[in-house]
Amino acid sequence: MRRRAWRATCLGLIALGFWTAAPVLGAGFGFFEQGSKAMGMAGAFTAQADDPSALFHNPGGLAFFDERQLAAGFSWIYTTEADFTGAPPFPGPQGSAEQETLSQGLPHVYWVQPVNDVWKLGLAVNAPFGLVTEWQDPGNFAGRYLSTKAALRAVDINPMLGWQLTPKFGLGIGAIARFSDVELHRYIATQNPFTLRPADVGKLELVSDFHEGFGWNVGILHRFNNSFSWGLSYRSKVTVDYEGDARVRQILTGNTQFDTLVRSRVPFDTDLPVSTSIDFPDMASLGIAIALSRNLLLETDFNWSGWSSFDEVAIDFTGGATNSLPDSTIPEHWDDVNNYRLGLRWARGPASEWRFGYVFDESPQPEAAVSPLLPDADRDGFTVGYGHRGRFSTDVALMYLKFDDRTRARSFVGEGDFFGTYSTTAWLLGLTVGF
């Protein structure tokens, strides 16, 4: 018991440092903005990988570091629009709603330590996955039986080893330990036998403990000459099996006889053991960087994400006949997708440079899976950044992220209709300081 409590305390401290849950800003519930230098070029960084955030973007870059470096920073996210406009047959225009405005920061930390000219060590702590969707006025939200709040936290601890095979070719490989928890809130309704109309009878809150999953990552970087380089990186799939408790709080209807009947059938105010599992996707990146002149460098990246592993979310109540609710399965059936990144780096001198970028990010979510739990869409991102090198290195970046309006007008077989259009816009600000 002491060992379990000690581990829970450590994980709690890690999670405290890495905030609550990130809004969905990358494809699916990925979050690619893990370093401000790369963010200024819209994440087109696989073929450069020349600052400590290489540990995320391409560990092959680790092989080229010749001195100890520490970098720490954050990406701050602010949503300016997160709306839903209902459509017939349900919920109709009267079912329109807004999400809570999100204003949160997500840290990243990188450490690099050369052992000798050939071997290098690295450690990354960051959060490349996460989500939070929370709807205003949940008691009147038409989608409250699907979700009023969904959150996922995932923190990666990623030690790595870099190997400089030649002066121009580097290899990096690492192990990923992912610590994650999930949370889901929704309302429960049943038909009132006295009025023959549905009535809200409970609020379900499902919260898991922190659980871990493991994977690996690898990357290569070839700096062919001063004008051309290319890189390739891969991060494996990670599966996390969650266990936790659900709790249902009763909503009184004012009809004493009905409320008593419901209470006899639903285990209110009781911890109900529950389990679920999430398959986080594997990811691959290919980047090519070309020096257009002495001061200009252009990089283009092609990224692939294996989101087809995210097929369904099964929620299993494991407390037995007297301490559980019916099991449920949320179908997802996501697809593998690509995103495309283009970045330009303009050196103003030996100590400063400007960066610009564009990214098109495909959504893996099929139309029938779009819901208040997680509404996703294709998106376009435009970035600008600035970096300064001195006693300390400082990088800042700004991203404007516009989601395409996403309309759901179809459902999976056996599911009810919840039709309408989701609209989302966000700004991101990144800051990273290196020592």
Angstrom CA distances, 311 to 9, 78, 112, 314, 406, stand at 32, 29, 37, 10, 20
pLDDT recorded at residue 16:
38
Question: Does residue 3 surpass a pLDDT of 60?
Answer: no
Contacts of 117 (CB under 8 A, 6+ apart): 66, 164
Task: Quote the percentage of the chain above a pLDDT of 70.
Answer: 94
Rounded Cα distance, 38 and 385, in Å: 9
Percent with pLDDT over 90 in the chain: 85
Q: For 395-408, how does the pLDDT look when each residue is reduced to its tens digit (9 = 90+)? A: 999 999 999 999 99
The whole-number average pLDDT for the span 365-388 is 96
For residue 266, pLDDT beyond 70 = yes
Contacts by residues 35-38 (CB-CB < 8 Å, ≥ 24 positions apart)? 35/71, 35/73, 35/108, 35/110, 35/395, 35/430, 35/432, 36/73, 36/75, 36/385, 36/387, 36/395, 36/396, 36/397, 36/430, 36/431, 36/432, 37/355, 37/385, 37/387, 37/395, 37/397, 37/432
User: Which pLDDT does position 104 carry in this prediction?
Assistant: 86
Residue 17 dihedral angles phi and psi, to the nearest 5° = -70, -25
Q: What is the pLDDT of residues 354-363, one digit of tens each?
A: 999 999 999 9
Domain boundaries, the chain: 2-134+155-171+215-236+281-315+334-434
Place of tokens 């450490």: 111
For residue 247, give the DSSP letter: E
What are the pLDDT digits (tens) for 182-203?
999 999 999 998 888 999 999 9
Query: Which of 256, 403, 415 shows the shortest CA–CA distance to 331?
Result: 415
The mean pLDDT of the chain is: 92
- pLDDT digit string, tens, across residues 58-96: 999 999 999 999 999 999 999 999 999 999 999 999 999
Work out whether the CA dihedral 310, 55, 132, 82 comes out positive or negative.
Answer: negative
Q: Is the pLDDT of residue 152 over 50?
A: yes
Predicted local distance difference test score (pLDDT) of residue 180: 97
Res 5: pLDDT: 40
CATH topology of domain 2-134+155-171+215-236+281-315+334-434: Porin (2.40.160)
